[in-house]
Structure 1
Amino acid sequence: MKNNETLITAEGLEEIKKELEELKLVKRKEVSEKIKVALAFGDISENSEYDEAKNEQANVESRIAKLELMIKNAKIIKEAKQKGIVSIGSKVTIKDLEYDEIMEYTIVGSAEADPFKGKISNVSPLGKSLLGKKLGEIIEVPSPMGDMIKYEIVTV
């Protein structure tokens, strides 16, 4: 993988394109209106509404630039190449061996990772530990507290 590549699923790329369109067509206009309203208050040297609107504008433009770069450098993750072996794009079910808890994750690039939606990054500790492993294997993943957590791969 090249340093500037953004690994992403086709679905994730579409989500980024939608967010970019929303920022460009809606959010930019909203922020522009906030700036106009704030300017109507007069003196901008002590105008907190103006400062807030300009900060929001900077954040929107920064996010637009980041999304455009991600789209430009996007490398679509294809379906797992080998059945039964975890790779980027794989949907994996694992079992926490200590708590007997079952979890399901999809391994994605870091740009698309969202643990609350079951998408973990290929560079996260769990993602790295899963890559290249097979159905039935047991992996050990360091926890934030420093101890090791054991998981069994239930499905790939």
Structure 2
Amino acid sequence: MANPQLSQAAFDKLQAEFDDLTTRGRIEVANKIEVAREEGDLKENAGYHAAKDEQGHMEGRIRQLEHLLENAEIVEASQVYTIVYEGDSDDMAERYLIGNMEEVVDGADVISSTSPLGAALDGAEEGATISYDAPNGSLTVKVLKVDTV
């Protein structure tokens, strides 16, 4: 499996989230668990079970962030493709960033480079017409614009 590609901004955002969850987040959840334990019987203690569930979700996110940060490849620039599907008018155009789901670009959806559309668009130039096999059949798109972000 290829290393996740992230912009420096996305990497920094994920690092800040990781730092927050491993410090403040863990302390906060531990305090919630302690307060709930003081309420008594743990078998029927909804607050305790909710806090433990929150802890589990948070630890899962920490592990996910840890993997991303340890294996990330920092990329200088990403491409945002503005496309229109065959038969649609240009005002129905859609914008896609090919990258990691942790990336955020205003007005663009993020798709993986391994998805059918992502693989077809990767490296395409403005004005190109591209056909690709999607789960529901073959589709054709025209690349209206390619922006570097």
TM-score of the aligned structures, taking structure 2 as reference length: 0.81
Secondary structure of the 1:151 match is: strand
8 Å contact from structure 1 (residues 20, 64) kept in 2: yes
CA distance in structure 2 between the partners assigned to 1:114 and 1:134 by the alignment: 20
CA 1:118 to 1:19, structure 2 compared with 1: closer, same or farther past 3 Å?
Answer: same
Task: State the Cα distance separating 1:113 from its structure 2 match.
Answer: 7.4
Aligned residue in 2 for 1:83: none
Structure 1: where are the runs of 5+ without partners? 80-88
Establish whether residue 41 from structure 1 lines up as the match of residue 39 from structure 2: yes
User: In structure 2, which of residues 121, 128, 140 is the aligned counterpart of residue 150 of structure 1?
Assistant: 140
Establish whether residue 122 from structure 1 lines up as the match of residue 120 from structure 2: no
CA distance in structure 1 between the partners assigned to 2:113 and 2:134 by the alignment: 16
Q: Which runs of 4+ in 1 moved over 6 A?
A: 113-116
Which amino acid counterpart does residue 68 of structure 2 have in structure 1? M
8 Å contact from structure 1 (residues 7, 111) kept in 2: no
CA distance in structure 2 between the partners assigned to 1:136 and 1:62 by the alignment: 43
Task: State the Cα distance separating 1:104 from its structure 2 match.
Answer: 2.0
CA distance in structure 2 between the partners assigned to 1:58 and 1:109 by the alignment: 24
8 Å contact from structure 2 (residues 84, 141) kept in 1: yes
Aligned residue in 1 for 2:82: 93
Which amino acid counterpart does residue 125 of structure 1 have in structure 2? P
Aligned residue in 2 for 1:68: 66
Task: State the Cα distance separating 1:69 from its structure 2 match.
Answer: 1.6
Equivalenced residues, count = 144
Establish whether residue 108 from structure 1 lines up as the match of residue 106 from structure 2: no
CA distance in structure 2 between the partners assigned to 1:43 and 1:115 by the alignment: 48
For the aligned residue pairs, the C-alpha RMSD in angstroms reads: 2.4
| CA deviation profile, 1:67-109 (whole Å, cap 9, x unmatched) | 0121011101233xxxxxxxxx212221223221112222213
Task: State the Cα distance separating 1:14 from its structure 2 match.
Answer: 1.6
CA distance in structure 2 between the partners assigned to 1:30 and 1:140 by the alignment: 51
8 Å contact from structure 1 (residues 110, 122) kept in 2: no
Larger mean CA deviation between 58-67 and 19-28 belongs to: 19-28
8 Å contact from structure 1 (residues 107, 122) kept in 2: yes
Aligned residue in 2 for 1:82: none
Structure 2: where are the runs of 5+ without partners? none
8 Å contact from structure 2 (residues 101, 110) kept in 1: no
CA distance in structure 1 between the partners assigned to 2:106 and 2:134 by the alignment: 15
Establish whether residue 57 from structure 1 lines up as the match of residue 55 from structure 2: yes
Task: State the Cα distance separating 1:18 from its structure 2 match.
Answer: 2.2
Secondary structure of the 2:53 match is: helix
